[in-house]
Amino acid sequence: MTTINELDAVALTCDLPKHGLLCGNVGTAVLVHGGGVAFEVEFVGYDGHTVALLTLERGQVRPLHTCDMPHARELEHA
Q: What is the pLDDT of residues 21-38, one digit of tens each?
A: 999 999 999 999 999 999
Q: Is 2 part of any domain?
A: no
Query: According to the model, what pLDDT value does residue 76 have?
Result: 74
Q: Is 43 part of any domain?
A: yes
Q: Is the pLDDT of residue 57 over 70?
A: yes
- Mean pLDDT within 28-53: 96
Q: Is 3 part of any domain?
A: no
Q: At 77, is the pLDDT very low, low, confident or very high (cuts 50, 70, 90)?
A: low
Q: Is 51 part of any domain?
A: yes
Q: Is 35 part of any domain?
A: yes
Q: Is 78 part of any domain?
A: no
On average, the pLDDT of the chain sits at: 94
Count of structural domains, the chain? 1
Q: Is the pLDDT of residue 67 over 70?
A: yes
52 is in which domain, residue-wise?
A: 9-57
* C-alpha span between 56 and 69 (Å, rounded): 22
Query: According to the model, what pLDDT value does residue 75 have?
Result: 84
Q: Are 41 and 54 in contact (CB under 8 A)?
A: yes
